Amino acid sequence: MLEIRDLFKSYENKPLLRGISFSVSKGETICLLGASGSGKSTLLRMIAGLEFPESGQILFNKIDLAQTPPHARDFGLVFQDYGLFPHLNIFDNVAFGLKMKILESNSSLFGMSRQQAVGLQRRVAEMMDLVNLQGFEKRKVTDLSGGEQQRVALARALAPSPRLLMFDEPLGALDKSLKEDLLNQLRAILHKTKIPAIYVTHDQDEAFTIADRILFLHDGEIIRDGTPDEVWTKPNSAWAARMLGMGNVIEGVVTSPNKVKTEVGIFTLNCRHKHSKGEKISLLMKQSEEGVDEIKLKVEDVLFNRDQFQVKTKNGLVIHMKDAPKIGQIIRVKVQVECLA
Ligand code: ADP
Ligand code: MG
């Protein structure tokens, strides 16, 4: 379906995207996860045809889209700020793109045929059902909550049956519980319609909920591409592990084939790579009862988090405990380190 080949883009001589390649297959939702400013929106704008790459290709069904204007690409876009038309009611907002498509395909100057108008009505009603907003057609945009407006934006993008859907941090402006609800609805809709989708976010929770595949965009490159399960088990870089909020990422120096020295102590390395003495590596430190190493840490702060206590230590590590320790207390924790190369 969609194939991105070796895309380059810079602004003011500063490289932003440096050789981006990936593809999206039928019915697949991929999530592009990257920090703010990493070029996620720029990449979507290029796929939409609103911006041009310096080099590289964007293909859909093996056809290069370089000469295809945005509206002829048949791609749907949903943004964080919804982008609804405030002067139109909900029906007209949802009908907008589809109406344009029908009018454009008509060679007559008399607008839509009766049959087409009926078809449009039916399609809008279908979309309102899909996003669970039956009966909202006559309402004004300004009378809707943020979550409802975003569902209207989704219905509008879906109405013309796009070949690809793109979401640019669509839930950024909504609160957490509403976000979860909408994400689950969106997931169900994407599975039902089987439209391939690219979902862009900096939020790892969103990525894990929505994605069949997660792509990490860092420093202008895709540094990891895998299923949520694969990237969680093997993030393969300190940056990805931090981005996923996986816990304590520390730096160390290899001192012998199975030992690594860090700021918080010397650990046993059980790794498939052959590291040489003196090599600097990033490590993920996991708390584990089966851990082969034990460390002593001084408690700096204690926070209650869901069903356990989150303990911050003097060295900036975060440890989870069932019972709250006292501030200043020395705690012993069993850990296991894993190399992140
Ligand atoms: P993201 O969506 O990941 O936050 P963007 O693609 O919006 O990132 O922007 C990435 C970088 O490119 C930012 O530093 C931004 O200032 C810069 N940028 C984006 N568009 C332009 C532009 N039209 N002209 C100059 N710089 C731009
Ligand atoms: Mg952006």
* pLDDT at 5 > cutoff 90: yes
CA–CA dist 250, 265 (Å, integer): 11
293-318: average pLDDT:
93
Q: Is the CB of 38 under 6 A from ligand 1?
A: yes
Is the pLDDT reported for residue 280 higher than 90? yes
Comparing C-alpha atoms, which of 45, 34, 35 is closest to residue 11?
Answer: 45
- pLDDT recorded at residue 271: 84
- Of 337, 313, 335, the C-alpha closest to 251 is 337
16 lines ligand 1 (CB under 6 A): yes
**DSSP designation for 162:** -
Query: pLDDT tens digits, residue range 118-150?
Result: 999 999 999 999 999 999 999 999 999 989 999
CATH number of 2-236: 3.40.50.300
Tens-place pLDDT, residues 154-198: 999 999 999 999 999 998 878 888 888 889 989 999 999 999 999
Burial 288-312 (b: 16+ CB within 10 A, else e): eeebebebebebeebeeeeeebebb
Min mean pLDDT across 80-84, 215-219, 324-328 is at 80-84
Residue showing tokens 């380190």: 337
**Ligand 1 pocket, 42 CB below 6 A?**
yes
If you ran DSSP here, which 8-state letter would residue 187 be given?
H
Are 90 and 152 in contact by the 8 Å Cβ rule? The answer is yes
Ligand nearest to the CA of 40: 1
SS3 254: strand
User: What was the pLDDT predicted at 108?
Assistant: 63
Closest ligand 1 atom to 36 CA = 4
Supply the DSSP string of 260-321, one letter for each residue.
EEETTEEEEB--SS-PPTT-EEEEEEEE-TT-SEEEEEEEEEEEEETTEEEEEETTS-EEEE
Nearest CA to ligand 1 atom 6: 39
The reply to whether the predicted model has a pTM over 0.85 is yes
Q: Which ligand is nearest to the CA of 169?
A: 2
Angle at 107 between CA 101 and CA 113, to 5 degrees: 70
Residues 215-231 pLDDT 10s = 999 999 999 999 999 99
Nearest residue by C-alpha to atom 24 in ligand 1: 11
Distance CA 173, CA 179 (A): 9
Establish whether residue 36 lines the binding site of ligand 1, counting it when its CB lies within 6 angstroms of any ligand atom: yes
Where are the domains positioned within the chain? 2-236, 247-339
pLDDT of 247: 86
Residue with tokens 């020295």: 261
Task: Give me the pLDDT at residue 45, please.
Answer: 96
- Percent of the chain's residues with pLDDT above 70: 99
239: phi then psi, degrees, rounded to nearest 5: -60, -50
Closest ligand to the CA of 170: 2
How many angstroms separate the CA atoms of 60 and 62, rounded?
5
- What is the overall mean pLDDT for the chain? 93
